[in-house]
């Protein structure tokens, strides 16, 4: 499903980016994916996806 119609960004793309880069804010997410740059209707749903995915990310463990 498309989250951002203006830039053709899907929920799958957003979930993959959040899992890989673990942005801590919408500003960081917007640097990784072109969302909320035109009409802004996608920002709320993108935030929900980011928060949902960050809750499911396993805790980071240092191995050194």
Per-residue pLDDT band at 40 (split at 50, 70, 90) = confident
- Express as a percent the part of the chain with pLDDT over 70: 91
Q: Rounded to an integer, what distance in angstroms lies between the CA atom of residue 61 and that of residue 58?
A: 9
Question: Would residue 61 count as lying in a domain?
Answer: no
- Angle (CA) 54-44-5 rounded to 5° is 105
Distance between CA atoms of 61 and 21, rounded to whole angstroms? 15
Print the domain residue range for 9: 2-56
Are 35 and 46 within 8 A, CB to CB? yes
In a domain, 29, yes or no: yes
The larger pLDDT score, comparing residue 59 to residue 51, is at 51
Q: Which two tokens stand for residue 63?
A: 């191995």
Question: How much is the pTM?
Answer: 0.82
CATH number, position 9 = 1.10.10.1100
Residue 30: inside a domain, yes or no? yes
Domain count for the chain, please give it.
1
């Amino acid at each position: 499903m498309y989250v951002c119609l203006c830039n053709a960004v899907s929920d799958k793309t957003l979930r993959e980016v959040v899992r890989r880069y673990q942005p801590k804010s919408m500003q960081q997410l917007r640097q990784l994916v072109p969302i909320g740059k035109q009409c802004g209707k996608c920002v709320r749903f993108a935030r929900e996806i980011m928060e949902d995915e960050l809750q499911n990310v396993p805790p980071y463990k240092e191995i050194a």
